[in-house]
Structure 1
Amino acid sequence: MFQVSNLNREDAEAIADIHAMSLEEAWSADAIRATIDQDASICLGIQTGDVWSAFLILLPAVDDVELATIAVHPDARGQGMARFLMMEAMAHARQAGFQRMLLEVAADNDAAISLYQSLGFGVDGTRPGYYSRKHAARVDARLMSINLCV
């Protein structure tokens, strides 16, 4: 359906733009470049033509891997790119020998929570007031995980 590719440091500006369109506290291009440069990071994206449409970054933590961030360009939403990327990332992490995938998501992000639950992630807990909002009260983070061992 979609073609998933590894991100390169040259992609950091375009990825940072998608992140800024998607999250209030977006990563800078320098932060994305630094993450891509880490040997252990897993940085995947989907291109439409020659333009990046979606990406995610996984960071290893011993036997687990953490979804550090995921974003889809506003013009590409609703096409299943986030689901496809997550499924690819889970397969990649499983093949690399990771036991679990962890993530945190804003408790008010119903679309993301629904996606993660549909992929088999369960809620492990909450971090009260973890996310700040420019024009609203702080929002809890939902901690979620999935066992990658089958």
Structure 2
Amino acid sequence: MRKSWRNRGLAKHLLVQALIYLKTNELHSTKLEVMTTNQSALSLYQSVGFCVDSEETRYFIQLN
């Protein structure tokens, strides 16, 4: 049975490395989108300095 890779800091490490890469290549800002119900992702993004800019509401209808 495989061990779970959750809660080992891998996602945070990869995200921090990506942000360092962007900054090194002279990008001044970056954005991402996440569902407001995804608390683990929200916590991760906030832990590295992202803050909420706005929330978007999307609508859909099933046609079949």
The one-character-per-residue Cα deviations of 1:116-147 (angstroms, maximum 9, x if unpaired) are: 111111100011137x8xxxxxxxxxxxxxxx
The alpha carbon displacement at 1:77 in A equals 1.5
Q: Which whole-Å CA distance do the structure 2 matches of 1:94 and 1:77 have between them?
A: 27
Q: Is residue 119 from structure 1 mapped to residue 45 from structure 2 by the alignment?
A: no
Query: Which ranges of 4 or more aligned residues in structure 1 deviate by more than 2 Å?
Result: none
Give the number of the structure whose residues are more often helix, by fraction.
2
Q: Is residue 87 from structure 1 mapped to residue 16 from structure 2 by the alignment?
A: yes
- In structure 1, give the amino acid aligned to 2:16: M
Give the number of the structure whose residues are more often strand, by fraction.
1
Describe how 1:121-140 pairs up with structure 2 within 5 A.
121-129=50-58
Structure 2 residue runs of 5 or longer lacking an equivalent are: none
Q: Which whole-Å CA distance do the structure 1 matches of 2:12 and 2:29 have between them?
A: 18
- In structure 2, give the amino acid aligned to 1:94: K
Cα-Cα RMSD: 2.0
The residue that corresponds to 1:98 in the other structure is 27
The one-character-per-residue Cα deviations of 1:36-90 (angstroms, maximum 9, x if unpaired) are: xxxxxxxxxxxxxxxxxxxxxxxxxxxxxxxxxxxxxxx3221111100000000
Q: Is residue 78 from structure 1 mapped to residue 7 from structure 2 by the alignment?
A: yes
TM-score (norm 1): 0.36
TM-score (norm 2): 0.80
Which has the higher relative contact order, 1 or 2, with Cα contacts under 8 A spaced 6 or more apart? 2
**Helix, strand or coil at the partner of 1:120:** coil
